[in-house]
């Protein structure tokens, strides 16, 4: 496998980059899966300037990926919503440590009176459970129904006493607060305070009809029927005494470390999730900010370029210095009850994962499909990667790690004349 990955075609890319980032273009080409149809895009900003806009593969079966295309990026979008929140804090509309109930009075049910924006942004609210909050994943298509569901939800622990990644709930909690305060739909607030100031070309929680054709969706698999194949399904395994599915061998091993694998299922998998299609028109046009944000690579990289410059973009102060100081500071080192690796949660962002480079001031967010975006203020560098491959992992995948490592190496060669591994 490693040989296949590292010895792929280095010239299967399009777009532009400065000479120092040529290795990144080659890596993007190398990681294009030979056995899967699809494509990807990368955007990199250095010192406020675009230094790489690169594409590989196909956005659609009859269309090569180029600058117009955007992709659903799962949890990568959480940081976009968080960034909008920080802008509103800078503008004086919100405060991190004010109880959410002061903005959203009907939220004050079932022990949620003391939950603040800081608790939600740093995944310390206790409201990580989606599985027992709604009866069916299809409810996620209804924004108002989801806000109502979280008004009634009960935290699994007191705010600030533990950390558990709000994999699905984050978007409705933060987005709900924004709408209550601004008295406008989330899309309008985002357009006014994020999209227009940064002149983003594609950033949506709920794709408009006119933009659906720009979305690079996963290619449909061709169904083949094997001779003598049967469609007999294996009977489901009996539930345990708590009415839960039995743990797999891997999950039983993980549980020995003190992590409860059911917490991750509760955070990530609402009931009937197997029948929910994020890539359908309905899935793309719903407002599910934790999971269905659709962006171009350039829009993501530009948002992080502003953050890499500590909240300033083209001489505009988008985020005030004192707010930037808070959003970029680690809020908790506590072990996460959902994520299997240390996340070092900031306010809506986590640490950046590399293959060796040390990036203590860097922060960003990855998506379940292996997309991701981040910035490193020390290097004045930002990066974004999107694609339309069918893949999934809550900790990213080798493509993102390798691309991140290469981007940092290229930047260090530009800054220091050397691109060491560490």
Average pLDDT over residues 351-366: 96
Domains, the chain, in order of start with CATH, read 71-213+277-416 (3.40.710.10)
Confidence of residue 197 (pLDDT cuts 50, 70, 90): very high
Asked if pLDDT for residue 153 goes beyond 50, the answer is: yes
Q: What pLDDT does residue 236 have?
A: 61
Residues above pLDDT 70, as percent of the chain: 90
Residues above pLDDT 90, as percent of the chain: 81
Query: Distance between CA atoms of 379 and 344, rounded to whole angstroms?
Result: 20
Average pLDDT over residues 302-330: 98
Q: What pLDDT does residue 391 have?
A: 78
**pLDDT tens readout for residues 163-178:** 999 999 999 999 999 9
Confidence of residue 383 (pLDDT cuts 50, 70, 90): very high
Asked if pLDDT for residue 7 goes beyond 80, the answer is: no
Q: What pLDDT does residue 34 have?
A: 63
Query: Distance between CA atoms of 72 and 25, rounded to whole angstroms?
Result: 22
Average pLDDT over residues 228-256: 66
Q: What is the mean pLDDT of the chain?
A: 91
Q: What pLDDT does residue 294 have?
A: 98
Contacts 24+ apart (CB under 8 A), 7-16: 8/32, 8/34, 12/56, 12/57, 13/54, 13/55, 13/56, 14/54, 14/55, 14/56, 14/64, 14/65, 14/66, 15/41, 15/52, 15/53, 15/54, 15/55, 15/66, 15/67, 16/52, 16/53, 16/54
Q: What pLDDT does residue 340 have?
A: 86
Q: What pLDDT does residue 46 have?
A: 98
Q: Which of 339, 319, 285 is nearest to 96 (CA)?
A: 319
């Amino acid at each position: 496998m490693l040989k296949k990955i590292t010895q792929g075609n280095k010239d299967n890319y399009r777009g532009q980059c400065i000479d120092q980032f040529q290795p990144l273009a080659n890596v993007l080409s190398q990681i294009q899966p030979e056995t899967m149809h699809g494509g990807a895009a990368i955007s990199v900003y250095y010192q406020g300037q675009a230094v790489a806009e690169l594409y590989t593969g196909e956005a659609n079966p009859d269309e090569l990926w180029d600058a117009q295309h955007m992709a659903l990026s799962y949890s990568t979008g959480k940081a976009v919503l968080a960034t909008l929140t920080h802008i509103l804090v800078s503008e004086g509309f919100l405060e991190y440590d004010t109880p959410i109930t002061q903005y959203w009075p009907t939220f004050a049910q079932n022990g949620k009176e003391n939950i603040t924006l800081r608790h939600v942004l740093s995944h310390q609210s206790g409201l990580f459970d989606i599985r027992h909050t709604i009866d069916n994943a299809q409810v996620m298509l209804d924004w108002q129904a989801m806000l109502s569901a979280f008004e009634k939800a009960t935290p699994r622990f007191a705010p600030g006493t533990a950390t558990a990644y709000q994999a699905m709930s984050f978007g409705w909690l933060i987005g709900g607060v924004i709408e209550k305060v601004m008295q406008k739909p989330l899309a309008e607030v985002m357009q006014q305070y994020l999209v227009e100031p940064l002149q983003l070309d594609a950033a949506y929680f709920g794709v408009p009809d006119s933009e659906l054709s720009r979305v690079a969706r996963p290619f449909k698999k061709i169904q083949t029927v094997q001779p003598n194949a049967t469609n007999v399904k294996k009977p489901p395994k009996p539930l345990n005494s708590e009415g839960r599915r039995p743990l797999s061998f891997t999950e039983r091993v993980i549980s020995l470390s003190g992590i409860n694998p059911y917490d991750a299922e509760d955070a990530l998998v609402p009931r009937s999730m197997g029948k929910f299609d994020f890539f359908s028109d309905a899935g793309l046009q719903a407002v599910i900010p934790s999971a269905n944000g659709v962006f171009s690579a350039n829009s993501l990289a530009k948002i992080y370029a502003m953050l890499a410059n500590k909240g300033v973009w083209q001489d505009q102060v988008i985020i005030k210095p004192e707010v930037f100081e808070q959003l970029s500071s680690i809020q908790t080192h506590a072990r996460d009850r959902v994520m299997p690796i240390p996340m070092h949660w900031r306010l809506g962002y986590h640490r950046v994962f590399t293959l060796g480079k040390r990036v203590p001031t860097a922060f960003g967010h990855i998506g379940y499909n292996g997309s991701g975006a981040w910035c490193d203020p020390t290097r004045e560098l930002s990066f974004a990667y999107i694609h339309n491959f069918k893949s999934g992992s809550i900790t990213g995948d080798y493509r993102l790690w390798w691309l991140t490592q290469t981007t940092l190496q290229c930047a260090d060669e530009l800054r220091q004349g050397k691109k060491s591994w560490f």
